[in-house]
């Protein structure tokens, strides 16, 4: 029980960190990817896993058959079910001999839904982990220099802010951080690439039906039955005592598809939001790069904005520090900075 409680506390802390240790070292738009999308995918993975464990598939047993119903359900779940495709392009179950059959549409994806969602959730964490590795806790270390100043004396507060300003303006520090913005921009591009890859993967995983899923859902289209049928056939192979085998078609109810179709509608919406947010974030990064040369009015200007990395680091400090502390930091960095312009 203590282990479960600790795990839940870690999850809560990840999605809602304590203000006492709060610091911002990434874009808030990026949080849509590594918190929002990640959380939705993990939740869907847990739900699909529970559904598959407790209510996988329910197959009927003809009165004339003597096979075990449990065996039939395990066999059909492991070896896939199928729909019959007729000459008119329709997909159905029932008696395939009653019409011209041109093929069978096999449903193999549902054994892999939980694993696929877990892997996709991990992919949305990958750019974040790469950025954390490249960032190396720089913002946190700087924020720690001026942490817990609410009840400090004016002298202690001033000394702490001066220490932070001195560290920020240190040439060795600036030299070691010169690729800071480049790493950040690269990770933002990875977010966009990852969303596109995950959408493409889901499209292939669901037999090219994912992209049009939400519009079809709004229209109430029955074409969803091709991807998420509620019932399907299964060819059961039974081995006799003498080594002979019998093949018998059984009808199976796929109640788990009721959950899966709702899950993937939600995932469609989440991926759409993730794609738009990633595009917006990369446009903002591009605009920052284009305006990077306009960081000062004259030759000296604002020392804290001499390059893109300094500007990015300062923006993180602005989001992480108390406003009064941040304003005092600006005054220490550059006396010409006016508080009203912060």
Residue with tokens 């939705």: 40
pLDDT digits (tens, 9 = 90+) for 217-264: 777 665 567 778 877 777 777 766 666 677 777 888 888 888 888 899
Question: Is 200 contained in some domain?
Answer: yes
Question: Is 175 contained in some domain?
Answer: yes
Rg for the chain (alpha carbons), in Å?
29
- 102 is in which domain, residue-wise? 24-291+301-341
Please give the average per-residue pLDDT across 154-158, as a whole number.
Answer: 79
Question: Is 151 contained in some domain?
Answer: yes
Question: Is 17 contained in some domain?
Answer: no
Question: Is 3 contained in some domain?
Answer: no
Query: How many domains are contained in the chain?
Result: 1
The highest-confidence range among 20-29, 80-89, 106-115, 275-284, by mean pLDDT, is 275-284
* Whether the predicted pLDDT of 265 surpasses 70: yes
Question: Is 168 contained in some domain?
Answer: yes
- Can you read off the two tokens belonging to residue 29? 């738009």
Residue whose C-alpha is closest to residue 305's, from 339, 340, 337, 338: 337
Question: Is 250 contained in some domain?
Answer: yes
* Widest distance between CA atoms in the chain: 95
What pTM does this model have?
Answer: 0.78
Q: In DSSP terms, which residues pair with 210 in a beta bridge? A: none
Question: Is 252 contained in some domain?
Answer: yes
Q: How confident is the model at residue 35 (pLDDT cuts 50, 70, 90)?
A: very high
Q: In 3-state terms, what secondary structure has residue 161?
A: helix
pLDDT digits (tens, 9 = 90+) for 39-67: 999 999 999 988 877 777 787 776 666 66
- Can you read off the two tokens belonging to residue 82? 């199928």
Q: In DSSP terms, which residues pair with 232 in a beta bridge? A: 252
């Amino acid at each position: 029980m203590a282990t479960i409680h600790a795990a839940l506390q870690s999850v809560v802390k990840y999605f809602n960190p304590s203000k006492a240790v709060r610091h911002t070292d990434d874009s808030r738009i990026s949080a849509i990817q590594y918190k929002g999308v990640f959380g939705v995918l993990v939740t869907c993975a847990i739900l699909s896993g529970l559904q598959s464990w407790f209510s996988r598939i329910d197959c009927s047993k003809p009165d004339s058959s003597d096979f075990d119903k449990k065996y039939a359900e395990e066999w059909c779940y492991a070896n896939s079910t199928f729909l019959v495709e007729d000459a008119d392009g329709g997909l159905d179950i029932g008696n395939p001999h009653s019409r011209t059959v041109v093929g069978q549409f096999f449903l193999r994806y549902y054994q892999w839904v939980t694993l696929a969602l877990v892997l996709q959730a991990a992919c949305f964490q990958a750019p974040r982990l790469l950025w954390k590795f490249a960032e190396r806790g720089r913002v946190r270390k700087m924020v720690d220099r001026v942490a817990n100043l609410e009840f400090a004396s004016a002298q202690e507060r001033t000394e702490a802010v001066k220490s932070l300003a001195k560290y920020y303006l240190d040439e060795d520090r600036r030299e070691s951080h010169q690729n800071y913005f480049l790493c950040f921009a690269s990770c933002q591009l990875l977010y966009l690439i990852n969303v596109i890859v995950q959408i493409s993967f889901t499209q292939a995983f669901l037999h090219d039906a994912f992209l049009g899923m939400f519009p079809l859902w709004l229209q109430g289209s029955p074409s969803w039955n091709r991807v998420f049928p509620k019932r399907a056939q299964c060819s059961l192979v039974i081995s006799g005592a003498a080594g002979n085998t019998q093949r018998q078609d059984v009808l199976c109810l796929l109640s788990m598809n009721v959950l899966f179709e709702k899950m993937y509608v939600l995932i469609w919406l989440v991926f759409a939001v993730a794609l738009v947010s990633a595009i917006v974030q990369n446009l903002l990064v591009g605009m920052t790069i284009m305006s990077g040369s306009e960081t000062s009015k004259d030759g000296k200007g604002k020392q804290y904005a001499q390059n893109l990395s300094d500007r990015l680091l300062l923006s993180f400090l602005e989001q992480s520090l108390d406003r009064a502390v941040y304003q005092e930091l600006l005054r220490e960095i550059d006396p010409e900075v006016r508080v009203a312009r912060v």
